[in-house]
Amino acid sequence: MKKIIIGLVVVLLVAGMVYYTIHQGDKDVTAVQLGSVSKQDLATIISASGEIRPKDYVNIGANAYGKITKLYVKEGDVVKKGQLLAQIDNIQPEATVAAQRATIDSAEKDLAAAEADLKTKQANLNSAKADAERTHLDFERNDALYKQQLIAKQDYDIKKAADEVSKATVAQWEAQIAQSRANYGSVEGRIKQAKATLVQMTDLLSKTTYVAPYNGVVTNLPVREGESVVVGIQNATGSTLMTISDLSVITAEVKVDETDVINIKRGQPAEVSIDAVPGKMFKGHVSDIGDNALLRSTGVATTQATTGSQEAKDFKVVVTIDNPPDNLRPGLSCTAKITTASKSGVLSIPIQALTIRTRGDLEEKKPGAAATTAQAATADPKTAATKKEELQGVFKIEKVNGAMKVKFVEVKTGITGSTDIEITEGLTADDQIVIGSYKALRTLKNGASVSKEDVAAAPKS
Average predicted confidence (pLDDT) for the chain: 86
Contact in structure between 406 and 397 (CB atoms under 8 Å): yes
Is residue 22 pLDDT above 80, yes or no?
A: no
Contact in structure between 452 and 437 (CB atoms under 8 Å): no
Is residue 385 pLDDT above 60, yes or no?
A: yes
Q: Are residues 275 and 339 in the same domain?
A: yes
Q: What is the CATH number of the domain that holds 369?
A: 2.40.420.20
Is residue 23 pLDDT above 50, yes or no?
A: no
Domain residues for 267?
48-56+255-343
Q: Are residues 202 and 135 in the same domain?
A: yes
397: Cβ contacts below 8 Å, ≥ 6 apart: 34, 404, 405, 406, 431, 432, 433, 434, 450
Last residue of a domain, one of 343, 365, 398: 343
Q: Residue 25 has what pLDDT?
A: 47
Q: What is the CATH number of the domain that holds 335?
A: 2.40.30.170
Lowest mean pLDDT among 42-56, 89-103, 251-265, 440-454: 440-454
Instruction: Please give the Cα distance from 138 to 222 (Å, whole number).
Output: 90
Whether 162 is covered by a domain: the verdict is yes
Average pLDDT estimate for 245-268? 93
Q: Are residues 324 and 392 in the same domain?
A: no
Q: Are residues 337 and 355 in the same domain?
A: no
| Number of CB atoms found within 10 A of residue 410's CB | 13
Last residue of a domain, one of 312, 343, 374: 343
Lowest mean pLDDT among 82-91, 143-152, 224-233, 440-449: 143-152
Q: Are residues 184 and 167 in the same domain?
A: yes
Q: Band of the pLDDT at 315, cuts 50, 70, 90?
A: very high
Last residue of a domain, one of 310, 326, 343: 343
Q: Are residues 422 and 325 in the same domain?
A: no
Average pLDDT estimate for 150-156? 86
Q: Band of the pLDDT at 362, cuts 50, 70, 90?
A: confident
Strands 412-416 and 403-410, how do they pair?
unpaired
Whether 250 is covered by a domain: the verdict is no
Whether 187 is covered by a domain: the verdict is yes
Is residue 21 pLDDT above 50, yes or no?
A: no
What pLDDT, in 10s, does the model give residues 408-419?
999 999 999 989
Q: What is the CATH number of the domain that holds 127?
A: 1.10.287.1700
Q: Are residues 324 and 372 in the same domain?
A: no
Q: Are residues 34 and 124 in the same domain?
A: no
Average pLDDT estimate for 372-378? 52
Taking Cα atoms as reference points, which of 430, 434, 431, 428 lies closest to residue 448? Answer: 434
Q: Residue 288 has what pLDDT?
A: 95
Whether 96 is covered by a domain: the verdict is yes
Q: Residue 375 has what pLDDT?
A: 54
Q: Band of the pLDDT at 18, cuts 50, 70, 90?
A: very low
| Number of CB atoms found within 10 A of residue 406's CB | 23
Q: Band of the pLDDT at 454, cuts 50, 70, 90?
A: low
Q: Are residues 366 and 327 in the same domain?
A: no
Is residue 459 pLDDT above 50, yes or no?
A: no
Average pLDDT estimate for 65-91? 93
Q: Band of the pLDDT at 387, cuts 50, 70, 90?
A: confident
Whether 7 is covered by a domain: the verdict is no
Instruction: Please give the Cα distance from 62 to 148 (Å, whole number).
Output: 93
* More confident call, 368 vs 35: 35
Q: Are residues 35 and 52 in the same domain?
A: no
What pLDDT, in 10s, does the model give residues 24-44?
444 578 899 999 999 999 999
Q: Residue 240 has what pLDDT?
A: 92
Q: Residue 457 has what pLDDT?
A: 44
Whether 77 is covered by a domain: the verdict is no
Whether 236 is covered by a domain: the verdict is no
Q: Band of the pLDDT at 98, cuts 50, 70, 90?
A: very high
Q: Residue 9 has what pLDDT?
A: 55
Whether 247 is covered by a domain: the verdict is no
Q: Residue 94 has what pLDDT?
A: 92
Q: Residue 148 has what pLDDT?
A: 86
Q: Are residues 285 and 193 in the same domain?
A: no
Q: Are residues 375 and 332 in the same domain?
A: no
Number of domain units in the chain: 3
What's the CA dihedral at 390, 394, 398, 404 to 10 degrees?
A: 100
Q: Is the peptide bond before 49 cis (omega within 30 degrees of 0)?
A: no
Contact in structure between 68 and 87 (CB atoms under 8 Å): yes
